[in-house]
Amino acid sequence: MSVLLETSAGDIVIDLLVDYAPKLCENFLKLCKVKYYNFSPIHSIQKSYSFQTGDPLGPMAPQSDGGTSIWGLLSGDPADKTFTAFFHPKLKHLERGTVSMATAPHPSDPDQRVAASQFIVTLGDKTDSLDGRAAIFGKVAEGFDTLEKINGAIVDDRGHPLVDIRIKHTFILDDPYPDPPGLREPSSSPLPTKEQLATVRIAEDEELLDEEANEEAAAEAERRRREREAAAQALTLEMMGDLPFAEVKPPENVLFVCKLNPITNEEGLELIFSRFGKILSCEVIRDRKTGDSLQYAFIEFEDKKSCEEAYSKMDQVLIDDRRIHVDFSQSVSRLSEVWRNETNAKRKKAAMRDGGGWGGVKELEKRRQYRNEPVELDEGRGYRMVHGMEELRGRHDKAPERTEPRGRGSPRRDEGYRRPERDLDRHGERYRPGRDGRDRDTERRSRSPRRDRYRDRQYDRHDGDRRSRDDREWSHRDRRDHDRDRGRLKDGDRYHKRGDERGR
């Protein structure tokens, strides 16, 4: 057994516990059936605890009597206005969405509590303080988002919402109880009375209008923001050369066809789509390297009408065992390519006509010149591009040739000095130095001037110091060899003189 409450905050579906609280459920069902709860305000909202409703006028109306039961409503007897509430021992306020009848002590018996029409719905889990004061008869099955909205409503110090939240309609989904005598179900929901309208603080319609206005303003602001963002992106693409101009729009006579079979070619597509009008071009986009179809194509018609007709009739058509998808093209690459080619052609023509310039600009000229070539100044032609040979071949070509080893400690040799020959040793054989010693140093010394000829002046300091040490070492070795050779010559002369004296 269920009841649907349609409120200004949303819908709430309540499942009734007819087996545990049959009389409470019957009273609630019959009041909903006669539309007694229509336009009843929701009040006494306690955040994350509960709210209360069920009084047609609400606690703020001076004419309010707090509500009545279905039996007092039908009979008009004040004694039937309330009835004894039954508290089932197994039903507790332990979860959100528990629905219970608000009760009050009986005037003659304080231990007995009575109920009428007002009921409470819990908004939190820890609400066991309501046990013994509110009689449970149902639970919320659907509409917890509505409970969240009610829980977040702005209220005054007494828990009354500043913007009215009211029950609009009640619908009975299942009623197992027979109607009491005199009950007549209205054919339509009754209009609110003058007393009910007088209790309105801020009408729901006014808030809705404000919300709609705010939503429209927000939507308009979002639309303007997207337009500005799109314009900025289009301007960036124009500066990069991807778009001919920022305000470019895709052509209206070009169709985009996708989900093609890889075997479908241009001839087949053009034959199929040509029945809608003359086709200017049909291109299946293919991979640049392999030439395989990428399974989409662009078809350009002669007029817009043919394109629209093909769009309306060819979508989801089976071609080569594939359901194709057809849409209007959003690509402007062809327009951009045409514009770029036309612009470059105009610039070249202008450059040829004016006898100079580059890219249509007279002040620029495509020219390459080396520094060792004579420069002819021409004030009318503007700036020119000059490329140095050193930048193309490397900086090492600028270094001057060096014919003698570098070194801070190497002495200058006499131009007429000639190193004595060491062809013969004391055994009469030709002198052949080994590979371990001086021949490697000799090769390195003889090769270093030729190699230094191509080195830069700004060479690494470590290598320069090493070469300086090598030069100083070789200077000492040359001086030592020279002295040793001179000593050998003197010893030889002295030996020959002694031999001559003995012979005499």
Angle between helices 438-452 and 461-503 (to 10 degrees): 130
pLDDT of residue 376: 53
- CA torsion 108→112→117→121, rounded to 10°? 140
H runs (alpha helix) in 378-460: 389-393, 438-452
User: How would CATH label the architecture of 2-202?
Assistant: Beta Barrel (2.40)
Are domains 2-202 and 254-331 of this chain identical in fold? no
Return the number of other C-beta atoms located less than 10 Å from residue 7's C-beta: 21
Rounded to an integer, what distance in angstroms lies between the CA atom of residue 229 and that of residue 234? 9
Cα angle value 351/352/357 (rounded, 5°): 30
Is residue 83's pLDDT more than 50?
A: yes
DSSP 77-143: -GGGS-EE----TT----STTEEEEEEEE-SS-TTSEEEEEEEEEE-SS--GGGTTTEEEEEEEEE-
pLDDT-wise least confident of 255-259, 279-283, 420-424: 420-424
Size of the chain in residues: 504
Residue 380: band (very low, low, confident or very high) from pLDDT cuts 50, 70, 90: very low
Q: Is 294 helix (H, G, I), strand (E, B) or coil?
A: strand
Rounded to an integer, what distance in angstroms lies between the CA atom of residue 71 and that of residue 421? 146
Rounded to an integer, what distance in angstroms lies between the CA atom of residue 151 and that of residue 46? 8
DSSP 348-381: HHHHHHHT--BTTBTT-------TTSPP---GGG
Residue 150: band (very low, low, confident or very high) from pLDDT cuts 50, 70, 90: very high
Q: Is CATH 3.30.420.10 correct for 254-331?
A: no
What are the backbone dihedrals phi and psi of residue 389, each rounded to the nearest 5 degrees, phi first? -65, -30
Predicted structure pTM score: 0.45
Q: Which percentage of the chain shows pLDDT scores above 90?
A: 34
Choose between 373 and 81: higher pLDDT. 81
- Tell me: the pLDDT tens digits for 32-42? 999 999 999 99
| Domain-wise residue ranges, the chain | 2-202, 203-249, 254-331, 335-381, 403-489
Q: Is 219 helix (H, G, I), strand (E, B) or coil?
A: helix
Is residue 435's pLDDT more than 90?
A: no
Structure tokens at 419: 């190193």
- Burial state string for 122-139 with b = 16 or more CB within 10 A and e = fewer than 16: bbbeebeebbebbbbbbb
- Tell me: the pLDDT tens digits for 199-257? 888 766 665 555 666 778 778 888 888 888 888 887 777 777 666 666 777 788 889 99
- Tell me: the pLDDT tens digits for 52-74? 999 999 888 888 888 999 999 99
DSSP tag of 222:
H
